[in-house]
Structure 1
Amino acid sequence: MRTSGVPEAHHGKEEDILFAELDGRGLSIDDRPMMDELVADHVYSRRLVGGVAEANERYRLGDEDARAIVVARLRELRDFYPGHIETEDKVFFPAARAYFTDEEEARLLERFREFDMTMIHRRYAAFVEELEQWH
């Protein structure tokens, strides 16, 4: 089962672009642990999404018990993400802006846009490849 790409897009932009840029900027005693916690959150959520995909595949192959695992992991994700997103949106991201000039922030936003475009291209290329295998 393919996942939606949402975790990859969300985490990729943050970890590969924003957090990488912040890493060398001398984060404050409050901001460094928060960024580390957000990275740990991403590891946790990737594990949950992977668990959903794995259990769903087992269910598709006839393992009736796997359905309960899918439901449990989805509930964990449902319960996890609101707090994670609130921490990012209301605490960490506003604090992170202070580490960048307006010009640097504009360049980061452009890199985010490029990342999104590349991600979209890869997703559609994979989808086309999947369709071609059917014919």
Structure 2
Amino acid sequence: MKATQQLKDEHEGIKLMLKIMEKISIAIEQGKEPNVAHYERIVDFLKGFADKCHHGKEEDILFPELEKHGIPNEGGPVGVMLSEHRKGREYIKALADALEDLKAGNKNAAKGIVEASAGYVQLLRNHIEKENNVLFMMADKVLDEKEQSEIYEAFERLEIEKIGAGKHEEYHKLLKELKDAYL
């Protein structure tokens, strides 16, 4: 499998989580209490799968390879993606903070969950489109089959090192559980 295809496949899981987050936000706006346990797991997914694992593969492995092949960071597509990763982390932190406030009894914190979720969803949807339709297409042009294979193997090692063996499967199980509950 191409390394870029693995990242595109992971995007599908992230996009599913974004839909779930939107659905929960709508329910909150309609006055429903958010399921704190579900939201704790959503934050864990965003931190562990979307950021540590997925963005880790891009930042630690793919982006440096692309730079070696002449795709610029500063002022270029890699720099834009890195900036958006940082912005996504800010939204995740705001979401986690709002969740902690909610758990501490602040009923107004649900508004913070909705706001942080909305920002994150919009950012990530646009980000994924840029990666899938611009950056990964560029990568497929400059990386040969051998390099793609080596990057894919490095991705597999990073996944075990950063999130642990079997955790990827747990995240997919969570996606299915939340999809069944909300979509």
Q: Output the TM-score relative to the length of structure 2.
A: 0.60
Partner of 2:132: 89
Picking from 67, 70, 87, the partner of 1:23 is 67
Partner of 1:34: 77
Any conservation in 1 of the 2:57–2:155 contact (CA below 8 Å)? Answer: yes
Work out the number of aligned pairs and report it: 123
111-120 vs 81-90, which moves further: 111-120
CA distance in structure 1 between the partners assigned to 2:166 and 2:115 by the alignment = 27
Aligned: 1:47 with 2:79: no
CA shift for structure 1 position 26: 2.1
Aligned-partner Cα distance in 1 for 2:165–2:153: 18
Residue 99 (structure 1) shift: 2.3
Of residues 38-47 and 94-103 in structure 1, the stretch that sits farther from structure 2 once superposed is 94-103
Q: Which of 133, 139, 161 in structure 2 is aligned with 1:118? A: 161
1:59 aligned residue (81, 102, 107): 102
* Structure 1: distance between partners of 2:160 and 2:80: 28
Deviation at 1:63, TM superposition (A): 1.7
Residue segments in structure 1 that go unaligned for 5+ positions in a row: 125-135
Gaps of 5+ in 2: 1-39, 168-183
Listed one character per residue, the Cα deviations across residues 9-39 of structure 1 (whole Å, up to 9, x for unaligned) are 121010011012222332269x961111011
* RMSD after superposition: 2.3
Indicate if the aligned counterparts of 2:159 and 2:165 stay in contact, CA closer than 8 A: no
Identity value in percent: 27
Deviations 1:22-79 (A, max 9, x none): 22332269x9611110110000001101110111011101122221111111111122
Match of 2:35 in 1: none
The residue that corresponds to 1:14 in the other structure is 58
Amino acid at match of 1:50: K
1:68 partnered with 2:111: yes
Q: Is the 8 A contact 2:55 2:85 kept in 1?
A: yes
* Contact 1:3/1:53 (8 A) holds in 2: no
Which of 1 and 2 has higher RCO (CA within 8 Å, sep 6+)? 2
Alpha-carbon distance in structure 2 between the residues aligned to 1:41 and 1:63: 30
Please tell me the residue identity of whatever aligns with 1:3.
D
